[in-house]
Amino acid sequence: MSVFNKEKLKNKLAEPRGIKKYNILLVDDERANLTSISRLLGTQYNVLTAKDGQEALEMVADFKNKEDLHLIISDQRMPNLTGVDFFKRVQPIAPDTIRILLTGFSDIETIVEATNEGRIYKYMTKPIETNDLRVTVQRALEAYDLTSRNHNLIEELRLLNANLEEKVEERTEALEKSNRDLKELNREKNEFLGIASHDLRSPVSSIQGMADLILKEYADFTRDEILQFMGQIKDSSGRILRLITDFMDVSVIESRQGDIKLKPLDLGRALEEVLGDLKINAETKGIELKRTGETKSLRVLGDRDSIHQVLDNLISNAVKYTPPNKKVLLIVSRSDTHFQIQVKDEGPGIRPDEMDRLFGKFSRLSSKPTAGEPSTGLGLYIVKKIAESMGARVWCESDYGRGASFFIEFKAHPE
Contact 62, 154 (CB under 8 A): no
Query: Percent helix, strand and coil across the chain, each rounded to 5?
Result: 55, 15, 30
Which residues fall within 8 angstroms of residue 307, CB to CB, at 6 or more apart? Answer: 265, 267, 270, 300, 390, 410
Quote the pLDDT of residue 2: 45
Which CATH number, 1.10.10.10, 3.30.565.10, 1.10.357.10, 3.30.70.2190, labels domain 263-411? 3.30.565.10
Segments making up each domain of the chain, as ranges = 6-128, 175-255, 263-411
For residues 72 and 47, what is the distance between their CA atoms, to the nearest angstrom?
10
The list of the chain residues with pLDDT below 70 reads 1-20, 105-119, 185, 188-200, 202, 239, 246-260, 362, 364, 370-377, 415
Inter-CA distances, 267 with 272, 288, 305, Å: 9, 21, 12
- Domain spanning 175-255, CATH architecture: Orthogonal Bundle (1.10)
Q: How many residues does the chain have?
A: 415
Kindly list the distances between the CA atom of residue 294 and the CA atoms of 267, 268, 336, 414, in Å, as whole numbers in the listed order. Answer: 11, 9, 13, 17
pLDDT, position 394: 92
For 6-128, CATH gives 3.40.50.2300
Do residues 266 and 294 lie in contact, with contact meaning Cβ atoms separated by under 8 Å? no
Encode pLDDT of 288-301 as tens digits.
Answer: 999 998 777 788 88
Eight-class DSSP state of 413: P
What pLDDT digit, counting tens, does each position of 326-356 carry?
999 999 998 888 889 999 999 888 898 888 8
Q: pTM here?
A: 0.49
Tell me the DSSP string of 56-120.
HHHHHHH-SSGGG--EEEEES--SSS-HHHHHHHHHHHSTTSEEEEEES---HHHHHHHHHTS--
